Structure 1
Amino acid sequence: MKNSKVKYVPELTSALRSHYVPVPNVIANASGIRVFGKRLKSFIFTTDVAIIKNTNADAVIAVYPFTPQPTITQAILSVSDIPVLCGVGGGLTHGTRSANIALHAEFQGAIGAILNSPAPDETIRFVKDSIDIPVIVTVVSELTDIQSKIDAGADILNVSGGANTANIVRKIREKFPLIPIIATGGPTDESILETIEAGANGITFTPPTNAQLFKHKMHEYREIENKKYENQL
């Protein structure tokens, strides 16, 4: 019989570090994926170095809609104190160029190389043969030939199917019970939990933008400033 007692987790912070971007607590229900001895459950999807430096996520998924650039990878890894999985192409960038970018990312300290959909199997093989870190292949459709991606060298699947994500995860898990799966969890605790129960081992969380976060902070500052002058009247 399992012990249902909730474990007490001590938490330490400070006056200057108490404000950060938290991932949803429900992600703790995921099993996690152990990569090089580190158990990762929550993956924050951002390239904003300020957010990366101020989050409680387990790892970073650094993917962006441009051809991968080593200088961007270097900037992210230079400030991150949590593991980083870097995008190395698949959409605009293919073949040996993706492999070279992936090798450079590994040398800088990335713990995983992400290939976006629709990366061809040949590119997956090039990257897999070039690096000693996991290859993560993005899946966006339930029609994707998962077996061919695994045969080509995919170590982890990254499911990003919008509102259909949980269903895609469920179908993959039925046929591939052991393949590690990271998936987008959606905007609510209920959608995240559904994705976990469908079979996702880790959840990608998209944080608010820097502008959205600063909007709330500036509102607080204005309220403080207004009250200060009201008290002087």
Structure 2
Amino acid sequence: MILQRTLPYDVMRPRPLPGIAPLGDDPWFLVDEAYAPQMAERLHLMASRRDDVIATAEADPANLSKMMDAVLDHLPPGFARKGDQVKCPDGRAVQIDISDPFGTLGQIVQNDICLMEKRGDEHVLTGAVLCFPASWRLREKIGHPLTHIHIPVKTYTDDIARRVQRLFDGVRPGMPIWRFNALWYDDPSLYQPRAVSEPRPLTEAGKTPYLRTERQVLWRLPDSDAVLFTIHTFVLARNDVPGATKTA
């Protein structure tokens, strides 16, 4: 099991959907207590299941280059870039490979990274490294717009879909926004892909032992209508969640 013991936000405070707030001066990326084991799991998944965790769908090469620059320019303390290498907090040195942007970034940060590019009226998922899916499959979502990506989320109504698309349209370079979600799971595994036809079974309230929560940041690439959607996954045992009750 790969678990965190603490969270950088109050996950028990309810926020109306879509729950977006300005990121402000907070860092885009975090390094937490689970960095080393999460990265070991990411490396294993990228080596053994690359086609399941990395995908592209006619992504604009210019946006891929901007994505690489943006992420590498916003690495938090603990990383050191020298030439075409990045020294990571766990001591690894990662070679920067501009021909494999998602494979490179997936070795550096804990976050999953999704590139959303404007196609017509909607943003479409045109590339991603997604090692820690929370009950969805990258292969089913790549190349599809936001509305399709959120099927079969029952709370993702038409009104919410319009509001989310307006958020993606309204994100400005240098002014990222963020949100979090919170779901209770019986299984603490980080890699949990599920087909749309096989939704996650309902769990009994108050008895699920693990909280899975994602810190999601939206960042507009410079001189582009493309948006990066980054996902930092936390998994905590129920007893380590401040304010969790037996009925949560």
What TM-score comes out, normalization by structure 1 length? 0.26
Kindly indicate which of the two structures has a greater share of residues assigned to helix. Answer: 1
User: How does the TM-score come out when normalised to structure 2?
Assistant: 0.25
More strand by share: 2
Higher relative contact order (CA 8 A, sep 6+): 2
